[in-house]
Amino acid sequence: MGHDSKSLVAFGRYGELRQQLPGVTERVLTMQLRELEQSGLVPQA
């Protein structure tokens, strides 16, 4: 699974998060970020 180009988190920040959270799968990280975006807690990049 690759990062979603429509994600509200810029790839640079996404990549940084992936590095900081090695135990979190890409799928789970993407799902959680989408939930945070939808709730308005993560601003659009």
Q: Look at residue 45 in the predicted model and tell me its pLDDT.
A: 60
DSSP 9: S
Question: 0.75 cut: is pTM over it?
Answer: no
Residue recorded with tokens 């959270």: 21
pLDDT for the residue numbered 44: 63
- The whole-number mean pLDDT for each consecutive block of 10 residues of the chain, a chain of 45 residues, reads 51 79 91 88 71
Q: What is the pLDDT of residue 25?
A: 93
Q: Which two tokens stand for residue 36?
A: 């945070």
Pure H helices in the chain:
11-20, 26-39
